C-alpha cells in the first residue's frame, strides 16, 4: 500500500489541527442490521482493528412489522451474531439470557428455535452496549481519495449526538450544516462493508394495488402496524407462498370470526410447500457449499438458484401444521367449511381498484390455463424482498466496480467487490451476493462465519480460526478450497494485500 499521508499529520510541532483523514478507521460499515452487527461484535474481539458502523435509523429493529406473537426464526439459537465463529464471545445469545436471568427458564424450555421478538430484543441488547455503532447517521456519499488512498464518507447526523466512547466518531463541524440545520460530517476508512439490507419487493402487476386509495394494501413487512384494521375488514387476501405469507394468514385466521373468516391465500407456487429442512439438505447452508457455489461458472449459478426455491422460500413444517390444525378446528365448530380459501398455482395478471373500497385482481391458473376475477377489500403482499440498491451511494465508485455478464457486481470468495486495482481498499458486501455465494447469503446461520472471513481477510494474522470442513456432503468432484483458508476469487488474480491495522 502507498505510504502517502495527509498533509500536516497530527503530532507535528508546527502543524495545523489534525483532520479526519489523519485518523481513518480500518473498516467502516454502512448499515446496522444483523449482519453488520455480527461483524461489529466479532471486530470488538480484535483490539488492533479500528471500526465504525453507521445507520440512519435511531435504533436497531429487525423486521418489526413481522414480530407476530409466537413466530420463530427458522434457524437454531446458535445462529446468533457470534457463536458459530466465537462461542466465548460476550455477545452470544446465551450471554444475553444470562444478563436477563433467563438461562434456566430457557434450559428448561428446551427450545432450539427462539421467537422473532426475542431475537430482535437480543440484537438490540448488543447494539445498545457495543462500542463503535452510530445510529441516526445517514451515509450520503462514498468516494475514493486517490491522494490519501482512503475511502471518504460523507454523513448527515439525523439526531442528537450520542456516540459516547465509540471509536470512529465522525468529525462534525459546527459550520457544516444542511438546509435543515442538521450537522454534516466526514470520516475516512481504509475499507468499507455494505450491510444496507433488503427492501420490500412488489412485482410489477401488483404495483397498482399499492396506489389504491382508501383500501388497505400493504407489504407483509408492515403487517403489525395495520393488523387491527385488517382484522376489522370484511375480506382480506394474502398473496405469497413463503413463511411471511403463511404467518400472516395464520395470524388472521386465528383472530377472525368463526365461520366468517373472509380470507383468501393465493400463491404462484404449485403448492404451499414445506421448506427443505432435512439435515443433509441443510448442508447447503454450510460454508462448504458456499465455497463450492462460488467456484461454479456464472451461467450454472444462475440456473441453479431458481431450482433451490424450497431451501429459502418454503414454509416451516410447524407453520403448515398449525394452519391445517386451525382450519380443521374451525370446520369442527362451525356449520360447514371455514370461510377461508387457499389457492396455489395462481398468478395475478393485473390489479386495480373498483368502487370506493374494493380491489379487483385478474387471476390466471398456471396449470389449468383458466382465468378469473377476484374481489377483495384488503391485500397483504407477502412478495418477499430484494437487495437494496446502492447506485446513488456508490456512484463515485461505479467506474471501478467490475461486473459480470448480467451487469451485477463481481464478488470474490471473501465477499469483496472486485474493483479496479487503482482502488487499494476493499469494499465488502453482506447479503448482496446471492448470485455469487448462493442461497446461504441471507441466512442468519452463516452470519458469524462470513463476518469472521471478512475480518480475517483484513489481517496479516487471522483473528478467528475457521473450520476446514463443515459438511458431510462433498460438493463436486474437485475440492473448492478449505473453508478455513482465506483465498481469493479462483477466476481472478489476488486483488488485495492483507494489512496489519494499528490504532491511531
Query: In which band, very low, low, confident or very high, does the pLDDT at 422 lie, cut at 50, 70 and 90?
Result: very high
Contacts from 98-102 at CB under 8 Å and sequence distance 24+? 99/125
Helix or strand run (H / E) with residue 321? helix 317-332
Res. 493: pLDDT tops 60: no
Res. 174: pLDDT tops 70: no
pLDDT for 19 equals 63
Any alpha helices (H) in 173-316, and if so which ranges? 207-210, 223-231, 243-254, 279-282, 287-295, 298-307, 309-312
List phi, psi (to 5°) of 427. Answer: -120, 110
pLDDT for 89 equals 98
Kindly report the pTM of this predicted structure.
Answer: 0.89
By the 10 Å C-beta count (0-12 exposed, 13-18 middle, 19+ buried), 201 is classed as middle
Q: Per-residue pLDDT tens for 37-53?
A: 999 999 999 999 999 99
Cα distance between residue 488 and residue 184, in whole Å:
37
Listing from the earlier edge strand, what are the strands of the sheet with 150-157? 137-145, 150-157, 183-189, 171-177
Among 274-278, 304-308, 387-391, the range scoring the smallest mean pLDDT is 387-391
Distance of CA 40 to the CA centre of its chain: 15
Closest-CA residue to 126 (of 195, 50, 30, 42): 42
pLDDT for 391 equals 84
3-state SS of 349-366? EEEEEECCCEEEEEEEEC
Res. 247: pLDDT tops 90: yes
Q: Are strands 385-387 and 192-194 parallel, antiparallel or unpaired?
A: unpaired
Higher pLDDT, 498 or 235: 235
Res. 279: pLDDT tops 60: yes
Instruction: Using a pLDDT cut of 70, give the percent of the chain over it.
Output: 87
Instruction: Using a pLDDT cut of 90, give the percent of the chain over it.
Output: 74
List phi, psi (to 5°) of 495. Answer: -95, -20
Query: Which DSSP symbol is given to 241?
Result: -
Maximum pairwise Cα distance, the chain: 90
State mean pLDDT over 132-154: 96
DSSP 3-state of 212: coil
pLDDT for 18 equals 54
What's the grid cell of residue 132?
463503535
Q: Per-residue pLDDT tens for 325-372?
A: 999 999 998 778 999 999 999 999 998 888 778 899 999 999 999 999
Task: Answer yes or no: are the C-beta atoms of 55 and 215 closer than 8 Å.
Answer: no
- Domains, the chain, with CATH or none: 20-197+388-458 (3.50.50.60), 200-275+313-385 (3.50.50.60)
The residue count of the chain comes to: 504
Amino acid at each position: 500500500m502507498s505510504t502517502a499521508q495527509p498533509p500536516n499529520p497530527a503530532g507535528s510541532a508546527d502543524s495545523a489541527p489534525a483532520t479526519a483523514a489523519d485518523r481513518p478507521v480500518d473498516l467502516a460499515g454502512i448499515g446496522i442490521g444483523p449482519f453488520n452487527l455480527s461483524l461489529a461484535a466479532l471486530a470488538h474481539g480484535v483490539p488492533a482493528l479500528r471500526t465504525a458502523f453507521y445507520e440512519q435509523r435511531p435504533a436497531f429493529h429487525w423486521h418489526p412489522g413481522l414480530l407476530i406473537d409466537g413466530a420463530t426464526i427458522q434457524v437454531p439459537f446458535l445462529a446468533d451474531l457470534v457463536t458459530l465463529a466465537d462461542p466465548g464471545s460476550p455477545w452470544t445469545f446465551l450471554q444475553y439470557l444470562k444478563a436477563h436471568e433467563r438461562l434456566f427458564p430457557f434450559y428448561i424450555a428446551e427450545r432450539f428455535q427462539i421467537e422473532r421478538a426475542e431475537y430482535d430484543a437480543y440484537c438490540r441488547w448488543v447494539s445498545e452496549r457495543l462500542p463503535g455503532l452510530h445510529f441516526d447517521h445517514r451515509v450520503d456519499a462514498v468516494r475514493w481519495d486517490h491522494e490519501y488512498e482512503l475511502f471518504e464518507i460523507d454523513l448527515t447526523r439525523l439526531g442528537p449526538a450520542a456516540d459516547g466512547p465509540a471509536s470512529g466518531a465522525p468529525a462534525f463541524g459546527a459550520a457544516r450544516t444542511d438546509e435543515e440545520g442538521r450537522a454534516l460530517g466526514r470520516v475516512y476508512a481504509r475499507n468499507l462493508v455494505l450491510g444496507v439490507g433488503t427492501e420490500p419487493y412488489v412485482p410489477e402487476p401488483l404495483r397498482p394495488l399499492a396506489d389504491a386509495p382508501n383500501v388497505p394494501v400493504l407489504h407483509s413487512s408492515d403487517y403489525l402496524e395495520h393488523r387491527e384494521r385488517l382484522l376489522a375488514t370484511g375480506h382480506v387476501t394474502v398473496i405469497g407462498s413463503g413463511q411471511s405469507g403463511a404467518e400472516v394468514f395464520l395470524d388472521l385466521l386465528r383472530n377472525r370470526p368463526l365461520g366468517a373468516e373472509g380470507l383468501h391465500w393465493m400463491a404462484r407456487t404449485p403448492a404451499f410447500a414445506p421448506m427443505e429442512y432435512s439435515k443433509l439438505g441443510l448442508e447447503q447452508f454450510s460454508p462448504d457449499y458456499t465455497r463450492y457455489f462460488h467456484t461454479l461458472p456464472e451461467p450454472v449459478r444462475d440456473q441453479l438458484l431458481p431450482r433451490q426455491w424450497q431451501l429459502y422460500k418454503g414454509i416451516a413444517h410447524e407453520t403448515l401444521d398449525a394452519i391445517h390444525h386451525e382450519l380443521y378446528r374451525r370446520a369442527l365448530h362451525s356449520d360447514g367449511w371455514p370461510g377461508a380459501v387457499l389457492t396455489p398455482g395462481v398468478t395475478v395478471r393485473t390489479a386495480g381498484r373498483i368502487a370506493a373500497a374494493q380491489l379487483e385482481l385478474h387471476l390466471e391458473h398456471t396449470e389449468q390455463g383458466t382465468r378469473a376475477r377476484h374481489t377483495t377489500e384488503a391485500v397483504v403482499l407477502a412478495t418477499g424482498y430484494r437487495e437494496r440498491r446502492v447506485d446513488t451511494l456508490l456512484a463515485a465508485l461505479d467506474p471501478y466496480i467490475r461486473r459480470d455478464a448480467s451487469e451485477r457486481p463481481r464478488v470474490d470468495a471473501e465477499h469483496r467487490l472486485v474493483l479496479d486495482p487503482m482502488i487499494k481498499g476493499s469494499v465488502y458486501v453482506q447479503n448482496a451476493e446471492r448470485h455469487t455465494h448462493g442461497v446461504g447469503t441471507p441466512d442468519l446461520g452463516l452470519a458469524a462465519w462470513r463476518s469472521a472471513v471478512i475480518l480475517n481477510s483484513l489481517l496479516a494474522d487471522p483473528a478467528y480460526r475457521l473450520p476446514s470442513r463443515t459438511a458431510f456432503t462433498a460438493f463436486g468432484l474437485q475440492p473448492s478450497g478449505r473453508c478455513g483458508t482465506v483465498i481469493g476469487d479462483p477466476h481472478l488474480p489476488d486483488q488485495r494485500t492483507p494489512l496489519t491495522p494499528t490504532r491511531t
